[in-house]
Structure 1
Amino acid sequence: MKKTKIFLRKIYVLVLILSAALLSACSADPSDEAEKYVVLIGEDSEITEKLSDIDLLVIDAEYFSKNDIARLRENGIREIYSYINIGSIESFRSYDTDFEKYTLGAYENWPEEKWIDVSAPEWQACTASRVDALVQKGVDGFFVDNTDVYYNYPQESIYDGILTILDYMDHTGRKIMINGGDCFVKKYLTTEKNVLIDGVNQENVFTAYDFSKDIYTKNDQSTREYYTEYLDLAMSHGCTAYTLEYATDPTIRRQAAAYAGKHGYICYISDNIGLCLGR
């Protein structure tokens, strides 16, 4: 009887240990996995010494020097992609006023931006020049934003304009990740013979941000399923799928990370839409 009690006591202790370990794993902050993929396009070179041991970092390299990029590598950043906006112009960029005549309309929720005609040779030349400058700084790839211009202006000239820009990027030998742009990407993957993009990133798959109320919440099921189908399509064409979620609630952050893991997506969860290092 004494041996039985000792055996049962050991089993009980083991169960407690396993339960604690499981609880710890389930309650872990998703940021613990952030070293795989980090998006900080709202930051500048001041964060260079604050980052280390990251598989893929996305920054706006316009605000980083060649030496900054080299320093990030020394700190253990294995791949560095630069944000590049090809489908709209932003009022805070130095070249903004040069292309006002090519703008197409207002950009909802982002008053500092306007959609731009990507078929304009002058805009394509400007984008090529920006690509060259980023290559000279030593980036490994491009985080291409606002191919959604094709969703808002679904014309063949707009589609072909995006293709022209992507083709130029591809010839630099750098990798290409498309952020959003599901309307363009779905057509691109299903109609083009040569797929130039390496990955797709989708914001707000599991989470949502309400601009009118300035709150972070969860997406409805139908929206979640739509983006999941989209990312699965991209993966079926050989693209790596990334998700960029926005959440401050720990429970929602854990749920978003679990959802991405379940579907094979590489996920980064930010606590602010400015994509800065902490609010």
Structure 2
Amino acid sequence: MSDCLATGFAGCDRAADPDIFVRCLRYLAAAPGMRSIKDESLAWLGLAPGDTALDLGCGLGGEATAMAGSVAPSGLAVGLDASRVMLARAANAAGQAAVRPVFVAGDGAHLPFVDGAFAGCRVERTLQHVPVPGAVLAEMARVTRPGGAVVAVEPDWGTFVVDSSHTAVARRLAEFWCDSFRRGWIGRELGRLLSEAGLKEIEVIGRSLVLRELAAAEAVYSLSDTADRAVAAGALPQGATGSFLTELRRRDAAGTFFSSLTFFLARGRKPRT
């Protein structure tokens, strides 16, 4: 399942087609609903010129580059990712920017930085793929300076819905997709995990990503491929998804396709004493 969007991000360098992950990230970076979520999370960091900042699981580097602009001219933004493919794409894209971050390969559970190195640390849509997200947040807290912010943005796949008259198929498919992730319910866990990492002043808000075109949902959720995988895994019976997918295509042509997913933005501050 190395090419599956739900399971493959952690090992996308080994995928037969790593560009499937690149295309997903590029689509989300430009999607209006996701763009507003990203921008809100960046604002929550409260970065100022001269600060140091970390974007963990930086992917294609767009947010790390935005952070570099916020801390310029004398600050430093670092984008860290475990994927060499993503880092190469990020470095190439940032080469066009007036202010560029530094990109580093690394493991979020073992960050290669000293205690208190950053004024703010951010992670987006990465904790859903890691086995122990609490360990990653604890490392982020460690490398954040006293008074600094740790911001996490994650979906809760238990909130994923697709409008369909085939309710049993839609419900089971959503459950199968959610359970494909290492931490499908990570969104609802963020506040507790930030607190367990020793952070204070915890805030959590929800934001919905609504997609009204089937092509968009395919790019982000791989609906057709997920349906095939669910049948192959025995989660849905043979022939159960044909009418479901036909209906989605018909509704898309009529302009009535609807899907939604709730993202949670969470922030904690490192105590000053």
Structure 2 length-normalised TM: 0.32
Higher relative contact order (CA 8 A, sep 6+): 2
Structure 1 length-normalised TM: 0.32
